[in-house]
Chains A and B, each alone.
Chain A
Amino acid sequence: MTQDIGRRSFLKRTGQLGGLVAVGGSIEALLAACGGNVSTGGGTTPTAGATTVASAGLMAPGNLQWGADYVSGAPYVFQDPTNPKNLVGFEVEIAVAMAKLMRINQAQVEVCYANLEQALLGNQVDMVMNGWEKTPDREKTELFSDPYYRYGQQIIVRVDDTRFTGVTPTDVSVLGGYTVGTGSGYLAETLMDDYNATNPPKKINVHAYTGNIAFSDLVQHKVDAFFLDFPIAAYYVLGTGPGAQPIPQLKLLGGTLNKDNYYVGFNKSSPRASILLPEINQAFSILKANGTLYQIYKKWQLWNSDQASIGVTTG
């Protein structure tokens, strides 16, 4: 009898503990699903006498919710290798700087890159800022801010690959006949597919990776080159930014091609977009003029003379 009572009590306690674990797990999952559970730092302490930008276009007043993907997101938005609870990246710093001007909080909302547009159109975020390009398809449903970074596509090859010795690429045709890696859905993939669609004598054999870009494949001669956004090349190959390790076996081939800009995207059908867009543009104007963007790009080794063409100054 005493043993039965002990067993019943044990089972009861186990059930209670299991219930607490289930509830705790549900709450954590709920918070994670809401996004923004990873700190991006940022603050709202205004500098005395500093310009303030309005923030009337936000879904949640006082909170700028911007969509981005931090998984394999370096150097745009990614988890700090020394403290994964925090996000780092040059776009994180831009968001923090914007929020300071607006005297609001900001929170990155984690969305898989492939789903960013649907999240924006579903009004899950105020805006998207994640190496976002203006494309004809996106212009059907989105409004775009002023450009905040001018970038290009970068070719990466092996240092000891003599086939590229003395080659200065001027367009993507230099990759004809080679196997070239890039990210699935990247603009670089589109550029190479468009080139192949012209039926050139030597097509590019495109290898598109989902998620992590396997630069080890280039080191191990499985591909002949990589072709993708310069910021990614700078981080992974040159080793700029926290947690980055340079890859000495690889090098950047020539300058960037197919120059383009990054923009912030807004949901065209949302009435808030027409309010928020000029506010973000005003913030960008200030950050370009006062040297904040210059400092951010310099820190991440992304600064180059192209930025002057979109109004970014040294302050």
Chain B
Amino acid sequence: MDFSIIPQALPEFLHGALNTIIYCVVSFPLALLLGLILALMGSSRFIWLRGPARIYIEVIRSTPFIAQIFLIYFGLSTILFNISNHFGSANLAVYVNGWTAGIAALAINYSAYEAEVFRAGFLSVERGQTEAAFSLGLNSQQNFFRIVLPQAVPLMIPPFVNDLIYMLKDSAIVSVIAGLELTAVLDTWRIRHGSDPIPLFILAMVLYLLLSLPTSYFARWYERKLRAAL
């Protein structure tokens, strides 16, 4: 094993790691927001809210991520291109690129899983808390934001962190739409330096560890803080 290739490869690997961070930092909050909306819709008493939420969650969770990213990148792109051509307007397809489609695909895919995490979190709060809140005169909105959500959040942090760490690695799939992130950089380098790829694999693994471990430690610290505050 010749580790002398590492200084040569490091700048591109760091650039790939930065792009991985960008994909996750932008996609995960979107996934959480969309997941929260879906969870609230899913627990609504109105069927016209509950139904679409459940269908969305089941379809997204049951279909391969790569199929979803292809649909967004190629399908949406083709639709926008044809519409632009039809109306003679500026080409909208250019806005569907490795970044926008990759972020959208990650956010849409993970929102389905986060919706279920939210739902489990809400259900884990004792029903008596809600009954007590209503008996004290709080309305539904006040009960949710002041009683249920604060108690549910510490319970949801571990699965959220789990999913964020998964997303760090799942972001590799954007390479199929020319997205450049850490695994794509590794792939290119190991094809070019196939005689001794082990140092490159080790470099990529170290970088992924450096991305994941601080996330885990920060999340545990934050969870402890939240529990103490409650």
Residues on A close to B: CB < 8 A?
113-114, 116-118, 121, 135, 137-138, 140-142, 181, 184-185, 189-190, 207-212, 214, 216-217, 219-222
A137, B193: Cβ atoms closer than 8 Å: yes
> Quick one: closest B residue to A265, CB to CB?
B194
B178, A214: Cβ atoms closer than 8 Å: yes
Given known contacts A190-B192, A220-B78, what 17 new A-B pairs fall within 8 Å (CB)?
A114-B190, A117-B194, A137-B193, A137-B194, A138-B195, A141-B195, A142-B195, A184-B188, A207-B178, A208-B180, A208-B188, A210-B184, A214-B177, A216-B74, A220-B77, A220-B93, A222-B97
A118, B194: Cβ atoms closer than 8 Å: yes
State A138–B195 Cα separation when bound (angstroms): 6
- Contacts A208-B184, A209-B177, A220-B91 given; indicate if A113 touches B78 (C-beta within 8 A): no
**Sampled A-B contacts (29; CB under 8 Å):** A113-B191, A114-B190, A117-B194, A117-B195, A121-B194, A121-B195, A135-B192, A137-B193, A137-B194, A137-B195, A142-B195, A184-B175, A185-B191, A189-B188, A207-B178, A208-B178, A209-B175, A209-B177, A209-B178, A210-B184, A212-B176, A214-B178, A216-B74, A216-B77, A216-B78, A217-B77, A220-B78, A220-B81, A220-B94
Interface string of B149-167 (1 = CB under 8 A from A): 0000000000000000000
Q: How far does the Cβ of A235 sit from chain B's closest Cβ, in whole Å?
A: 19
State A141–B196 Cα separation when bound (angstroms): 9
Chain B CB count within 10 A is highest, among A116, A137, A211, A219, for A137
Q: How far does the Cβ of A116 sit from chain B's closest Cβ, in whole Å?
A: 8
A184, B184: Cβ atoms closer than 8 Å: yes
- Contacts A181-B178, A210-B175 given; indicate if A222 touches B77 (C-beta within 8 A): yes
Report if B199 contacts A (CB, 8 A): no
- Contacts A114-B187, A208-B184 given; indicate if A185 touches B177 (C-beta within 8 A): no
Interface residue total, chain B, C-beta cutoff 8 A? 26
> Quick one: closest A residue to B197, CB to CB?
A118
- Total contacts A-B at CB 8 Å: 76
Please name all residues of chain A whose beta carbon is closer than 8 Å to the beta carbon of B91 when the two chains form the complex.
Answer: 220-221
Please classify the interface of chain B as helix (H, G, I), strand (E, B), loop, or mixed, using the class held by over half of its residues: helix
B188, A211: Cβ atoms closer than 8 Å: no
Contact of B187 among A118, A210, A221 (CB under 8 A): A210
A221, B94: Cβ atoms closer than 8 Å: yes
Interface string of B135-148 (1 = CB under 8 A from A): 00000000000000
Residues on B close to A: CB < 8 A?
74, 77-78, 81, 91, 93-94, 96-98, 175-178, 180, 184, 187-188, 190-197
Please name all residues of chain A whose beta carbon is closer than 8 Å to the beta carbon of B192 when the two chains form the complex.
Answer: 135, 137, 185, 190
Please name all residues of chain A whose beta carbon is closer than 8 Å to the beta carbon of B176 when the two chains form the complex.
Answer: 209-212
B93, A221: Cβ atoms closer than 8 Å: yes
Q: How far does the Cβ of A95 sit from chain B's closest Cβ, in whole Å?
A: 22
Please name all residues of chain B whose beta carbon is closer than 8 Å to the beta carbon of A137 when the two chains form the complex.
Answer: 192-195
State A264–B68 Cα separation when bound (angstroms): 37
Q: How far does the Cβ of B9 sit from chain A's closest Cβ, in whole Å?
A: 12
Chain B CB count within 10 A is highest, among A142, A185, A189, A221, for A185
State A214–B91 Cα separation when bound (angstroms): 18
Please provide the 3 A-B residue pairs with the shortest distance between their CB atoms, ordered closest to farther: A117-B194, A185-B191, A207-B178
